Amino acid sequence: MLNQQTRAIDANVPEAVELTRLGVSGAAEAIRRGEISAENYVSALLAKARRKEGLRAFITLDEPGALSAAREADKARAKGVNAPLLGVPLGIKDSYLTAGVRTSLGVGALKDFQPTEDADAVATLKAAGAIVLGKTNLVELSYGLTGENGPYGQVGNPHAPDHVTGGSSSGSAAAVAAGLAPATLGGDTIGSIRVPASLCGVVGFKPTTRRWPRGGVAPISHTLDTTGVFARGVEDCVLIDQVVTGAPAAELDCRADLKGTRFAFAPRQYLNAVDPEVEARFRNTLLRLAEAGAEIVEIDLGGDFQALALRTTWSLFFRETKASLSDFLERHAIPVAFEDLHVGLRAGVKDAWDHFVIPGAPGYLSEQAYHALTADRLAVKERMSEIFTRHGAHALIFPTTPCTAPRVERQMQFTVGDQEVDFRVLANNTIPASAAGLPGVSLPIGLDSHDLPIGLELDGPESEDRALLGLAARVEKALRARQ
């Protein structure tokens, strides 16, 4: 319930509506109009985050800093300042540097580290009036897909805390799904935004690679890394994208139909080893989109496509880690060496580093093999490009993850259908867009029989992010109209 002070400020908001249910656009508009105060809004989110601390969505809540910034935002509004995100608090993945706010990268060795600079995306959002609410939990050094973290704890899925959130941006997805923040920043190398968005039932947007700034964000792969955002709706992703990139403001297409839209559907590649409930929901969604006027065309990307995309992407992921992360640590004067991070990793991550990441390790690629990946990646890009050029599709459509969130105790190995798989399968469908550098949006499309979210991904042409977001907004509206 809105408290007495907030109701006095906002007589137009129904008493039953909680402040914590506001999205980015709604909160920004309410603050701009003086209907709510930024201080009350931040206070409500902080209180809810404290009540939900068992989810471990945040590593750090910057209560004093967030409240102080909120009071300043309220003063600025009273003076007529009209910034697009004035007074809106956001959660920031703890791989982003934040000036004066602890940045751990998810490792215990940096539990007391406070940077003196902001990551580029954070600085841009703050300049637009946004407030850093706190730093969200993640898999150590963003190296995982389930949400496990040794020093700071396993992040719980708000829909079922004994199930995983997905990773590596686990806390960012959980914070939005639990109503602890209207939006959060994350990072995506092979699916670390889209996978947790799918498993937690929120919207996750991975921009075209290098379209968003990556400066000041701990890397894995300079080829694949992408920063991005989680929100409850596409509209909020559009606003954040506009601010971060400086793109001109654009009105979303408000039609609830999809006439003139063509989706490509590649079952041979994207429905391989998919849970029957997920496939059934996906196919039902295709029918609903067709009822809304969309054309669905079935395509085949080739029998070798999935193996090529997976091998190329995982190889880049492992091979570029040491050089990318070492450079980041040195460039930003972070008080820990790569070797110290390696020694302190929990067993699962350290085993992967010992086998693939450390030069001389059994799986470490030679220079010749590494450079050969350029041609392999180009082959993936060319196949993906044909979806839009040869087949005339506006987007490729598929289930974001092949299953809903596995149980925490079975997060490393679990069953999809009747097949035993390991955690890497969670990124099987997100990896091709990562290899090709394409933009992707994951949208929630319902729940399975255990009330766990199912995600739908749309991938668009390179650099056509705004068109993809506009299409995602139409899909979101069309599906809501046909519930």
CA distance 118 to 95: 11
Considering 142, 169, 170, 192, which one is annotated as catalytic?
Answer: 192
Interatomic CA distance for residues 171 and 178, integer angstroms: 10
Type of residue numbered 141: L
Phi, psi of 44 (to 5 degrees): -65, -40
Output DSSP code: residue 36.
Answer: S
The CA distance from 234 to 216, in Å, is 26
Which CATH superfamily is 21-481 part of?
Amidase signature (AS) domain (3.90.1300.10)
Active-site residue, selected from the candidate residues 168, 169, 324, 434: 168
Active-site option among 52, 93, 126, 206: 93
Give the three-class secondary structure for 49: helix
Structure-token pair, residue 330: 């040195």
168 is catalytic: yes
Tell me the CB-side half-sphere exposure of residue 52, using CA atoms within 13 A: 27
- What pLDDT tens digit does each residue of the chain (483 aa) get? 233 333 333 344 333 248 999 999 999 999 999 999 999 999 999 999 999 999 999 999 999 999 999 999 999 999 999 999 999 999 999 999 999 999 999 999 999 999 999 999 999 999 999 999 999 999 999 999 999 999 999 999 999 999 999 999 999 999 999 999 999 999 999 999 999 999 999 999 999 999 999 999 999 999 999 999 999 999 999 999 999 999 988 777 777 799 999 999 999 999 988 999 999 999 999 999 999 999 999 999 999 999 999 999 999 999 999 999 999 999 999 999 999 999 999 999 999 999 999 999 999 999 999 999 999 999 999 999 999 999 999 999 999 999 999 999 999 999 999 899 999 999 999 999 999 999 999 999 999 999 999 999 999 999 999 999 999 999 999 999 877
Neighbour-count burial for 100-123, b at 16+ CB within 10 Å, e otherwise: ebbbbbbbebbeeeebebbbbbbb
Domain regions of the chain by residue span: 21-481
Distance CA 302, CA 273 (A): 17
End-to-end CA distance of the chain: 28
The answer to whether the beta carbons of residues 262 and 392 sit under 8 Å apart is yes
pTM equals: 0.95
Q: What is the dihedral of CA 309, 238, 105, 132, to 10 degrees?
A: 180
Q: Is 93 a catalytic residue?
A: yes
Q: Are 221 and 441 in contact (CB under 8 A)?
A: no
Angle at 428 between CA 447 and CA 372, to 5 degrees: 160
